[in-house]
Amino acid sequence: MQHNPKEILRRYLAERGLKITRQRYIILEAFIELGRHLHVDEFYPILRTKYPKIGHATVYRSLKLFAESGIAREVRFGDGLTRYELVTDGVRHDHLLCTACGTITEFESPGLGQLEASIVQNHGFKVQSLQIELRGVCSQCLSS
């Protein structure tokens, strides 16, 4: 099945008797278009430049709703902020966090999945969630 965030949101809202508002779709489209890890206080000003009538609380509630519906995932990197990232079907990724500039870079490594499977098998463990964060200094900051 193809990952269609708008359809997932429409179904999720309909199942709960919630309204499918234009503002929610606008926020979802912007979230998908930006395609990066956003916290509400970073995302809201971006939206307001184009849609000044959308309120901060509406953006916050929409991001929470996207996470509840499975469209997005809440990620926390230890800085006290909750960020949201778009969930993509079947593509596992992890994060490189630059401690100098704050850049978050996603990376994929099939080898990590194999390592995880080996560890799980050796210890008879069932993983419920896994998030790998490598902290350090990005190449741009290293060259400046």
| 6-16: pLDDT as tens digits | 888 999 999 99
User: Please, what's the b/e burial string for 56-71 (b: 16 or more CB within 10 A of its CB; e: otherwise)?
Assistant: eebbbebbebbbebeb
74/99 same-domain check? no
101/45 same-domain check? no
53/106 same-domain check? no
Instruction: Please report, rounded to a whole number, the percentage of residues in the chain having pLDDT higher than 90.
Output: 46
46/81 same-domain check? yes
53/19 same-domain check? yes
State yes or no: 41 annotated in a binding site.
Answer: no
State yes or no: 98 annotated in a binding site.
Answer: yes
State yes or no: 89 annotated in a binding site.
Answer: no
State yes or no: 138 annotated in a binding site.
Answer: yes
Single residue among 50, 66, 86 that ends a domain in this structure: 86
Edge-to-edge order in the sheet of strand 104-107: 104-107, 94-98, 133-136
Domain of 23, in residue numbers: 5-86
- pTM (two decimals): 0.73
> Exposed, middle or buried, 8 (CB in 10 Å: 0-12/13-18/19+)?
middle
- The H or E element spanning position 8 is helix 5-15
